[in-house]
Structure 1
Amino acid sequence: MNKYSVVFMPDVQTITLVKEMKLNLAAKTGSFKSKNALAHFSIFEFFSEVSQEDRFFIQLERIASEIEPFEMHCNSFNQYNNGAFYIKPSEDSTDKMSSIMKQILNEVTTMKKEHQTTTPHLTIGRQLSQKQLQIAQQMFQNIDISFPVTHLSLRKFNLQIKQYEVYKEFPLLGKPKEIQGSLF
């Protein structure tokens, strides 16, 4: 049984920026959860046998093909009570991506979804201690980045490195939705 994650990923420049932020925070505070994870917006995770991959590839490809590529703008930092420190999208970008996340969650039927979210954020660190959170707040106060989102990404958990790796990408094509059934 494999573990998969369906996400939106930012462009290469944003992935690099977030990676540098994580490494800088780790240099000041020590290691933390998600330090080595590439920047992404989680939608859901699921478990499946490899034999089922073709089935969910087809569904994810269709769903992605019906989504228009879109622009994200992130302009602040925030934290959750569980010790996560993250980059927060603007209100308009949050509304846009959240709506698309809900659409994806509603349309996915071939997988049993775990850890679903419709609150977009780019995590810098997870399960940070109070001290680590304070250092993160001091280090990272201002941000203003924009980037296109052009793919829905499927990541697969690699047990050797204990990290998700991008496994397959599905381009966002903005095609009209397929209509089920017949006109007659």
Structure 2
Amino acid sequence: MEKTYSVVFYSKALVEPVKKLKDFLKSKINWYNSCNSEAHITICEFTIDESEFDLIKQKLSKISDTFTPFQVSLNHFDSFPNAGAFFIGVNEDSKNNLVPIMKKIHETLKSLKLKKSDEPHMSIGRRLTPENLKIASELFTAIDLQFECNEIVLREFDPKVKQFFVMDTFPFGSNPEPEFVQGSLF
């Protein structure tokens, strides 16, 4: 049976503060897409047969072992008006640390049909109308959140609840892959 999964950066410490922002927006504009989704930064999403699940977990475990933990700073609100997305953006240093990891994970899972995210951000709302985007940008003007990025998380989509739930975490091992050096026989 096919199931949908996502790979994300996730921090339990951010779930509650971001939920408060989402609930406040919901109190102003009613229900909206992703109002009940836990705080995360999406890396990619894919659908696979359950039989492939263990192989994907092995790949994610192996690649995450090569990453080293670092601090992520979310310091501004922004939007993707064409997608109706309102989000918390990361600072430049965080982006410079997150993007190479996102690209390595995309590369690791390239055999799958991925829905990739190339721009690290933490969504507050998706598919908002232009009016609701304007309301969100007026409600939220300043933010300063941090978390230690020390793992990637694999989540499974539950079609009944229409939410993703954490299935597994893959800690960063700070073990960079050794560069392959061509040896000489003579």
TM-score w.r.t. the length of structure 1 is 0.92
> Residues 44 and 113 of structure 1 are in contact (CA less than 8 Å); yes or no, is this contact kept in structure 2?
no
The CA deviation at 1:89 is 0.4
Instruction: Give the AA of the match of 1:44.
Output: C
For residues 32 and 167 of structure 2, what CA distance do their matches in structure 1 show? Answer: 24
The CA deviation at 1:108 is 2.6
The percent of aligned pairs where both chains have the same amino acid is 32
Unaligned runs of 5+ in 2: none
Tell me, what secondary structure is at the counterpart of 2:113?
coil
Alignment partner, residue 108 of structure 2: 107
Unaligned runs of 5+ in 1: none
Alignment partner, residue 157 of structure 1: 157
Q: Deviations over 1:7-47 (max 9, x none)?
A: 111x2221211111111100111110011111111111111
Tell me, what secondary structure is at the counterpart of 1:177?
coil
Alignment partner, residue 142 of structure 1: 142
TM-score w.r.t. the length of structure 2 is 0.91
**Within-5 A mapping of 1:63-142:** 63-81=63-81, 82-109=83-110, 111-142=111-142
Instruction: Give the AA of the match of 2:90.
Output: P
Q: Deviations over 1:71-114 (max 9, x none)?
A: 101111000022100000011111211121112212334x4132
Tell me, what secondary structure is at the counterpart of 1:60?
helix
- CA RMSD after TM alignment: 1.8
For residues 168 and 182 of structure 2, what CA distance do their matches in structure 1 show? Answer: 32
- Count of paired positions: 182
Instruction: Give the AA of the match of 1:124.
Output: I
For residues 62 and 24 of structure 1, what CA distance do their matches in structure 2 show? Answer: 39
Q: Which runs of 4+ in 1 moved over 3 A?
A: 178-184
The CA deviation at 1:181 is 10
Q: Deviations over 1:42-64 (max 9, x none)?
A: 11111111111111111100001
The CA deviation at 1:164 is 0.8
Instruction: Give the AA of the match of 2:89.
Output: K
Change (3 A) 1:80 1:159: same
